[in-house]
Amino acid sequence: MAQKKLEKQLNILDYALSSLWRRRMKSLSLLLVFAAVIFLLASFQLVTQALSDKAKQVLAYTPEITLQKMSVGRQEAIPLAYRERLGGIFGIRRVVPRIWGYYFDEVRLANYTVMGMEVGEMPEGARLDTALASGAMPGPGPEEQGKVVIGQSIKKALALEGRTTFSLFRPDLSLKAFEVSGEFSRDTDILTNDLMVMNLAEARDLFALPAGMVTDLCVYVANPKEIDTIARKISEALPAVRVLTRPQIQKTYQVVFGWRSGFGSICLLAALAAFVILAWDKASGLSPEERREIAILKVLGWETSDILAVRFWESVLVSGLACILGMTAAYIHVVYFAASLFRPVLMGWSVLRPELYLVPRLEAGDILLILAFTVIPYLAATVIPAWRSATVPADSALGG
């Protein structure tokens, strides 16, 4: 009995396939529109996921507390001596000075992010050496003079082509020579793509920052649960200093990213709604030939449920194929074309980076979510038209 039922479903599936093939223009147009909707949704999901992962990666390198000196609402250099005033605050593990700035290379018309720091002073896990593809981070000694680690887009902008040396202008237009001692991996592009890391003395020299001054003080705490308490104590000890905590930065990322993601989702849901209307329209418009075919099948002994099963399998085949096509196209779009359709929406125009290599991660939950937002509305949109077509009276196949 079960074998008969299975054979029956296989026969009906076979008929549904041939039915789709017979109406191939209609089926193909529906398939392409459906695949396009799934492509948009899946791309969006993949980009969202990949960017979230990247954001987590960035935050892993962010100090737990960052101190910046503010004057008339603008950031200015902070004296290293401020470190001494933090000595009495219990729970601070380490305070690492950092010079963080932007360098506009007028020769190559490119912007670099320059970071000067003593990597050895940073706690493990926050060190950027884990982001290296090759070479080593510059150390603090004089023998490390001019050594830098660069990101992939800087390497491209400098057009090094086998060389390891290059020069940049100081503010007084004298040239400062550098030697590349390492390169950052493409996997950390969102953080390191335009990043140039050197030791503190070299960065101070490049920006002509006075001795004893840096741009930030990075504070690492012993217990992450005490970040807010320690931040409050720092604010009390150094009232002219802006205190940024990692959770605050994380929250800002989430708000900005969440807003963009929400905006994109609304646009995509509108596209989905339009598709459902199209599916309804296509499924409900029965041609005289289709009505005749259904009436013939019913006279030949097909039940209403058999016709419904044909329509169900047709919908499953169209949506299954559309899912495969749409998701594959989305993966290619994100991996090989760096999600060029969604980058402006999700990353913002003002912070657009020259290049970005996203590593998408599509999990079972994401696939189910995409299916829930596409296949289920499609099946729901076609069920009533399918019922209408299945209830065509059998006697309409007979003459008058």
Q: Among 17, 213, 296, 335, which residue sits at the site for other proteins (rule: CB under 8 A)?
A: 296
Q: Among 303, 320, 361, 372, which residue sits at the site for other proteins (rule: CB under 8 A)?
A: 303
Residue 290, interface with other proteins (CB under 8 A)? Answer: no
For other proteins, which is the closer residue by CB, 12 or 339?
12
Whether 315 contacts 378, CB under 8 Å? yes
Q: Which of 66, 362, 62 is nearest to 214 (CA)?
A: 66
Residue 206, interface with other proteins (CB under 8 A)? Answer: no
- Give SS3 for 283: helix
Shortest CB 8 distance to other proteins, Å: 4
Segment near other proteins (CB under 8 A); pick from 152-160, 166-174, 291-299, 336-344: 291-299
The three-state (H, E, C) secondary structure of 95-158, written as one string: EEEEEEEEEEECCCCEEEEEEEECHHHCCCCCCHHHHEEEECCCCCCHHHCCEEEECHHHHHHH
Residue 388, interface with other proteins (CB under 8 A)? Answer: no
Binding mask 1-20 for other proteins (x = CB under 8 A): --xxxxxx--xx-xx--x--
Residue 300, interface with other proteins (CB under 8 A)? Answer: yes
For other proteins, which is the closer residue by CB, 121 or 306?
306
Shortest CB 275 distance to other proteins, Å: 27
Q: Among 39, 184, 302, 313, which residue sits at the site for other proteins (rule: CB under 8 A)?
A: 302
Alpha-carbon gap, residue 255 to 119, rounded angstroms: 31
Shortest CB 303 distance to other proteins, Å: 5
Whether 388 contacts 286, CB under 8 Å? yes
The three-state (H, E, C) secondary structure of 7-66, written as one string: HHHHHHHHHHHHHHHHCHHHHHHHHHHHHHHHHHHHHHHHHHHHHHHHHHHHHHHCCCEE
Alpha-carbon gap, residue 155 to 231, rounded angstroms: 38
Q: Among 172, 301, 349, 351, which residue sits at the site for other proteins (rule: CB under 8 A)?
A: 301
Residue 325, interface with other proteins (CB under 8 A)? Answer: no
Question: Using CB under 8 A as the criterion, which residues of the chain lie in contact with other proteins when the complex forms?
Answer: 3-8, 11-12, 14-15, 18, 22, 292-293, 296-304, 306, 394-395, 397-400
